Structure 1
């Protein structure tokens, strides 16, 4: 679920925090992805096919565009989120099996595929979204790519949505610094706002809409003060409300050392052996996709050697919000050069 109606609230009250881009704008960037979201997208879109096939195709597309993906896997889910995950899996007709954080057979298959693709992955101690956000704050990656909005209260400065490798898709980028500046609240106050909106870790105050929640936080600054000033008859506060535990989950950084990220060339023969001979994907599909990958990479290398750059189209000078005419600022986005520890 992520954060209930947060995207709508940002669009209406902090549209300057949104930029609309193309996948090619992220060439050379290191992007962290919550693997479970990527896999579940394919499971929902093509339930008859293995999500491994989708992960294989999408990862190659990222690499073709010069994007350096880092896949993050969920560890043991927080107790506060377990019930939500079980209900979500039941609704989708899946079996939730990650109560202990032990890797499932599907996770092990994804890990093996990424090894053969030469792409780094990280095992989070808990929630993968929290780990992705921490990687951004630590300067290890440039941004988080996710369809859930949780990355923003977890502290990711840049969140990318719809990085789904379709040529006609419009990638949406959210800037947390711009968002906080526009709403005139701190990150801690923003976390409290997200809890009031509705998150995966606790209940919410009933009947409290996004605009009202924002107004209350801007005026009273903390959930504790909001509770003292809200009409409990129209907006009953949950009994034994675990908002403090939810707040702590959003604000506490994962206890893990900064990982070293290394990308290597995909091993085609090993990929064919694994995907085709073990997982029974048609060999022709794998071979043809690898051939396209090589040709695309060769073309890009030739263009780079010749000093060619992507031609700028007229509309690139005037990127506008789809169906809206709001101006988009360039600051605090991935268009600006930020220093990061050198990755291999």
Structure 2
């Protein structure tokens, strides 16, 4: 779920914090992905097809653009998230079983696929979003790619949505520093705002809309003071409200020692051996996609080399232009000076 209506609130109240880009704008960037969100997208879009196939194609698209993906997997979620996970499973028509921290068969398959693609994987101690945000804060990654907005209250400076394999799709980027600056609130106040809007870790105050919640935080600065200044009949505060526990999850997420991230060339033979017998995809299709991947990446690199070379030649021509211009100016000054001498009265 993420944060209820946070994206809408940002677009309406702080549009300067949102920018629209192309996937190629992230060439050369390290992007942390919340793997559970990626898998859920493919499961929802094509229930009859293994989401592993979707991860295979999308990851190659990232690599074609020289984007360096890092896939982050969930560890054991906080106890406070149990109710949200149960509702999510029921809405998807799946039975709910309490997460024990053991990787599912789908997660293990995804890890094996990513190993063959040469892409690094990290296991989070808790929610993947929290670790994704940490990677951006400490400079290991340039951005988090997730459809869930809760990476912002976890402290990710840059969140990108709609980073997918669709041709000419528009990527939406959210800037946390710009958001805080334009709304004139602190990071801690943003966390309280997100709890008021509705998050995965506690209930929300019924009837309290996004605009109202933002105005209350801007005026009163904390949930404690907001509660003292609202009409409890209009906005009934939940009994045994665990907003402090939710706040702690966002502000005190466990920090992880991140291993060195290494990207290697995809192993085509290993991919064929892994995907074709079990994932309902033909060997011909895998090899055709790998050839397209190699050709596309090589073409992009050649184009960038030409652009760099053209830029260097333009710079050289400009420097030569200024050199010639300076020489010409000096010659004109000498000629002008000589001309002036002949005109001077004796």
Query: Is the shorter-chain TM-score for this pair beyond 0.5, marking a shared fold?
Result: yes
**Residues 76 and 98 of structure 1 are in contact (CA less than 8 Å); yes or no, is this contact kept in structure 2?**
no
1:25-76 deviation per Cα after TM superposition (whole angstroms, max 9, x unaligned):
0000000000010011000000110000000000000000110000000000
Residues in 2 aligned to 1:169 and 1:301: alpha-carbon distance in whole angstroms: 21
Q: CA deviation at 1:82?
A: 1.4
Contact 1:98 1:104 in 2 (8 A): no
- Check 1:9–1:73 CA distance in 2 against 1; reply closer, same or farther (3 A cut): same
Match of 2:190 in 1: 190
Q: How many Å separate the matches in 2 of 1:299 and 1:247?
A: 48
TM-score with structure 2 setting the length: 0.87
TM-score (norm 1): 0.88
Partner of 1:296: 296
1:10 equivalenced with 2:10 (yes/no): yes
1:45 aligns with 2:45: yes
What is the SS of the residue equivalent to 1:173?
strand
Mapped to 2, the partners of 1:66 and 1:310 lie a distance apart of 21
1:231 matched residue in structure 2: 231
How many Å separate the matches in 1 of 2:97 and 2:281? 25
- For 1:310 and 1:136, the matched residues in 2 are separated by 33
Residue 6 of structure 2 contacts residue 197 of structure 2 at CA under 8 Å; is this kept in 1?
A: yes
* Counterpart secondary structure, 1:71: strand
Q: CA–CA distance in 2 between the matches of 1:310 and 1:282?
A: 42
Checking the alignment, whether the CA contact within 8 Å between 2:119 and 2:263 is kept in structure 1 is: yes
- Alpha-carbon deviations, 1:88-107, whole Å to 9, x = none? 01211234456111001111
Shift of 1:309: 8.8
Distance 1:306 1:268 in 2: 29
Are residues 100 and 141 of structure 1, via their aligned partners in 2, closer, same or farther at CA, if it must alter by over 3 Å? same
CA RMSD of aligned residues (A): 1.5
Question: 298-307 vs 263-272, which deviates more?
Answer: 298-307
Q: Classify the secondary structure of the residue corresponding to 1:52.
A: helix
Larger radius of gyration: 2
**Deviation of 1:126 (Å):** 0.3
1:309–1:19 distance in 2 versus 1, CA, 3 Å: farther
**1:153 counterpart SS class:** coil
**1:122 — aligned with what?**
122
Residue 189 of structure 1 deviates from its aligned partner by 0.4
The match for 2:179 is: 179
Does the 8 Å CA contact 2:53/2:279 hold for their aligned counterparts? Answer: no
Instruction: Tell whether the 8 Å contact from 2:20 to 2:172 is kept in structure 1 after alignment.
Output: yes
* Structure 2 unaligned blocks of 5 or more: 312-346
The alignment partner of 2:236 has SS state of coil
How many residues were matched structurally? 311
The equivalent of 1:166 in structure 2 is 166
Which ranges in structure 1 are unaligned for 5 or more consecutive residues? 312-344
Distance 1:217 1:274, change over 3 A: same
**Aligned CA distance change for structure 1 residues 161 and 294 (closer, same or farther; 3 Å):** same
Q: Deviations over 1:103-135 (max 9, x none)?
A: 011110000000000000100000001110111
CA distance in 1, matches of 2:51, 2:200: 24
3-state SS in 1 of match to 2:144: strand
Alignment correspondent of 2:340? none
Alignment correspondent of 1:267: 267
Residues 116-172 of structure 1: CA deviation (Å, up to 9, x unaligned): 000001000000011101111111100000001000000000000100121231110
Q: Deviations over 1:193-232 (max 9, x none)?
A: 0000000000011111111101110111000001111100
Residue in 1 that maps onto 2:220: 220
In structure 1, what is the equivalent of residue 337 of structure 2? none
Is contact 2:130–2:154 with CA below 8 Å preserved after alignment?
yes
Inter-CA distance 192–274: structure 2 relative to 1 (3 Å threshold): same
Change (3 A) 1:136 1:228: same
Counterpart CA distance in 2 for 1:236 and 1:153 is 24
Counterparts of 1:66-81 in structure 2 under 5 Å? Answer: 66-81=66-81
Q: Which moved more, 1:88-97 or 1:227-236?
A: 88-97
For residue 83 of structure 1, report the CA deviation from its aligned partner.
1.7
Correspondence for 1:333 = none
